[in-house]
Amino acid sequence: MTEAAPKTEASGRRLNMIEAINEALHVMMARDPDVVVFGEDVGYFGGVFRATVGLQKAFGKHRVFDTPINECGIIGAAVGMGAYGLRPVPEIQFADYIYPGLDQLISEAARLRYRSAGEFIAPITVRSPFGGGIFGGQTHSQSPEALFTHVAGLKTVIPCTPYDAKGLLISAIEDDDPVIFFEPKRIYNGPFSGYYDKPVEPWARHEGSEVPEGYYTVPLGKARIVQEGEAMSVIAYGTMIHVAQAVCREKGIDAEIIDLRTLVPLDIDTVEKSVKKTGKCLIIHEATRTGGFGGELSALVQERCFYHLEAPIERVTGFDTPYPHSLEWAYFPGPVRIGEAVDRLMKA
Amino acid sequence: MAQGPDPASGARGNLPPLSLHVPEPNFRPGDPVDYSFLDIPPAGALPRPDETCPATETAPLCSGMVRVLGDDHLATGPWDPKLDPETLRRMLRAMALTRAFDDRMYRGQRQGKTSFYMKCTGEEATSIASTFAIAADDMVFPSYRQQGVLIARGYPLVEMINQIYSNKADKLKGRQLPIMYSCRDHNFFTISGNLATQYPQAVGWAMASAIKGDSRIATAWVGEGSSAEGDFHAAMTFAAVYNAPCVLNVVNNQWAISSFSGFAGAERSTFANRAVGYGIAGIRVDGNDALAVYAATRWAANRARANGGPTLIEHFTYRAEGHSTSDDPSAYRSAQERDEWPLGDPIMRLKRHLIALGEWSVEQHRAMDAELVDLVKAATKEAEKNGILGHGLHHPFHTMFEDVYKELPWHLEEQAEQAIRERQIKWPEWKPE
């Protein structure tokens, strides 16, 4: 897989996000014989998004295998394997399919350590592609991260570059707590400006695609300042980082853009410091609005930065509807919706 | 003749209206009980196929019932495990100890020493004989009525009571509802209050054991009521697909709180018959016959250990008491059910078997019962030194926030400070432990 990585004009090794994830899995399976990978179509075929290509050949079908179409069984078996001492990395083919596994995640994986006072743990990393922008319709486009950030005992991680995807996934696999690792599938193959009508950019021209070989980690719970700025703080994660960057570039706004990378545990210090500096806060996510993680962020910023705020906190999100198929781009919080919020903040 | 709708003309036909079948148990409070409708084969009637047989050969065992102890109190037929008298006496003692423990804990709850308790009266053979038939390092994924497993494995009663009292010595730090034990060093998985979740977990554990080339197997427990959960079927599918080395037990005690087994499908089929559809081995066993439970479990464990795959065992038994201390069964079932139960009481049956063998006596049994009452009483006194529920002797306050994650994140640290502040406002003299 890595041999096929695009090599372009830039220096360094360039990978797209799928290749980076695949490489993280290769690295961890080679380092730790207790790591096992399983899920629907992940074995011989290598996954519908190709994230597990080559793993079964390299590590054998006892450690990389296909599963029945049963997310409850996939997560439930992972919990049992974790109790045995393995370090399972199950894939849920689409985040939209994760719901049959929720009881096993919420009542079991997230609670084992607490209810057994540390006798049993669930060192599981559930990988799952999420988000829209690929004409997946309402059952292949959802962003259900807020369901998981609401659960005590789960960690929720979302990368926005190939470099982070590899380093965060390695950290997630090594973590002794259950981690929901949502992969923004729209940016598997290239960063996305939000202009769906423009040609797709490849990762090779993005600095985030420089991925070192072998083992390295990006710590969980640590946000990244994507760009420093003074005009406002933009807090986002996943695909929306790239859209926010494009909008601010286009409007010539000197925004500070923060990629959360981990929603729980949240790097509140980086957020707080930035908002206190800029006095303005724009929160963006693709997920539906009501009860979304943006509401939590907004409350935290208000609690901690109220007297530094020069304008109401802006929240740009998907609409509170299922993700429509034909009107996908009307749903997506793209440059127009973000641009309006940016303008309001700049006028304030 | 009745006619259905005619697609061509659109005529509705003249069929009577559809009607929904809602299962109804045979007996309600006050009803006389007659169990003659139950088909109970005599002891020794069913064949015992080889442990490596194709799963299909067990089909007759799924609809029949493996029984060893006959009306003459002697063991008979191919399933007789031929246990030595010493093992039988140890099994009897574990069953009697479990019953004595249940009685004491039940009274403790009524005396306000804890919030909740669940007895397993009448079902002691299922968990205890099964535990005798597996290795001490086989992993058990229990439901909530398998205290017999812990007692059979020699887990200290004091530890169990500490957990029931949620006191300062409770190894689970007072976090779990009473009886939701977790005992890793006794290979007993943490009990969930969510039903049947342990089933796919047991299969996953068994898969891991097979992945690692281990020799240990997993056993899982579920009630017939919660065999209706999706998790049960997820587990059956995974167990069948990966030929997982596990023994999947369904305790059919006829009642799920107030819902009789018909609400889990018992009017249509036995629970063991679920195995047939999944293509795995299955056995329906007289759950009040300790020898039959032992023999069936031994068969299944040997099969699993020999890479023969999973077995589903239905233990046909009767929940002799309420679901829990929060339940009053006289509100929904006939009190006669327990008295008339045709498979008797598991402790009495094993006792009579040992007496029939000349290896036990009424006097010995009486003496044992008295000794066990004292044993439980002593353990209770010992545990009470560590406190009872609601009397302050709980774990340090901060432990409430620990073990949510391996490390305490900032937001839980903040919330812990809040909780401690609230306590200091309410009790100014209180100091964080």
What are the average pLDDT values for consecutive 10-residue runs of chain A, which has 348 residues? 42 92 98 98 98 98 98 98 98 98 98 97 98 94 98 98 98 98 97 92 96 98 98 98 98 98 98 98 98 98 98 98 96 97 97
Select the residue of A76, A113, A114 nearest B204 (Cβ to Cβ). Answer: A76
pLDDT in tens, A307-328: 999 999 999 999 999 999 999 9
Q: Is residue B390 predicted with pLDDT exceeding 90?
A: no
Which of A72, A126, A264, A297 is the best mutation test for B, with the most CBs of B within 10 A? A72
Nearest-CA residue of chain B relative to A79?
A: B201
Which of B241, B403, B407 is the best mutation test for A, with the most CBs of A within 10 A? B403
- Report helix angle B124-132 to B290-305, nearest 10: 40
pLDDT in tens, A2-39: 334 444 444 589 999 999 999 999 999 999 999 999 99
| DSSP 3-state of B209 | helix
Q: What's the token pair of residue A266?
A: 């949240």
Residues of B in contact with A77 (CB under 8 A): 200-201, 203-204, 207, 238
Closest CA to B44 of B324, B292, B370: B292
| Cβ count near A269 (within 10 Å) | 12
Residue A339, chain B, CB below 8 Å: the answer is no
Could you tell me the CA-to-CA distances from B87 to B42, B90, B93 in Å, in that order?
24, 5, 10
Place of tokens 């304030």: A348
The model's pTM: 0.96
| DSSP 3-state of B119 | coil
What distance in Å separates the CA atoms of residue B140 and residue B156, rounded to the nearest whole number? Answer: 17
Which of B207, B236, B307 is the best mutation test for A, with the most CBs of A within 10 A? B207
CA B223 to mean position of chain CA atoms: 6
- The alpha-carbon gap from A277 to the nearest alpha carbon of chain B, in Å, equals 22
B395 band by pLDDT with thresholds 50, 70 and 90: confident
Could you tell me the CA-to-CA distances from A123 to A35, A118, A132, B180, B408 in Å, in that order?
10, 12, 28, 22, 16
Q: Is residue B378 predicted with pLDDT exceeding 50?
A: yes
Q: What's the token pair of residue B379?
A: 């353990």
What distance in Å separates the CA atoms of residue B113 and residue B389, rounded to the nearest whole number? Answer: 6
What distance in Å separates the CA atoms of residue B356 and residue A141, rounded to the nearest whole number? Answer: 69
Nearest-CA residue of chain A relative to B189?
A: A120
B197 contacts A108? CB cut-off 8 A = yes
What distance in Å separates the CA atoms of residue A238 and residue A150, rounded to the nearest whole number? Answer: 19
- The alpha-carbon gap from B278 to the nearest alpha carbon of chain A, in Å, equals 13
What distance in Å separates the CA atoms of residue B144 and residue B319, rounded to the nearest whole number? Answer: 13
- The alpha-carbon gap from A16 to the nearest alpha carbon of chain B, in Å, equals 32
Q: Which domains does chain B have, with CATH numbers?
A: 55-384 (3.40.50.970), 397-426 (no CATH)
What distance in Å separates the CA atoms of residue A318 and residue A332, rounded to the nearest whole number? Answer: 6
The residues facing B246 across adjacent strands are B218
Q: Which domains does chain A have, with CATH numbers?
A: 2-192+201-205 (3.40.50.970), 221-347 (3.40.50.920)
pLDDT at A200: 86
Select the residue of A68, A84, A121 nearest B205 (Cβ to Cβ). Answer: A84
Select the residue of A63, A68, A107 nearest B192 (Cβ to Cβ). Answer: A107
What distance in Å separates the CA atoms of residue A168 and residue A181, rounded to the nearest whole number? Answer: 9
| Cβ count near A107 (within 10 Å) | 17
Write down the H helix ranges in B286-345. 290-305, 336-340
The yes-or-no answer on residue A150 being catalytic is no
Q: What's the token pair of residue B198?
A: 């342990």
Average pLDDT for chain B: 96
Contact B272, B250 (CB under 8 A): yes
What distance in Å separates the CA atoms of residue A231 and residue B342, rounded to the nearest whole number? Answer: 81
ipTM exceeding 0.90, yes/no: yes
The residues facing A127 across adjacent strands are A91, A181
pLDDT at A11: 57
Place of tokens 């259905």: B4
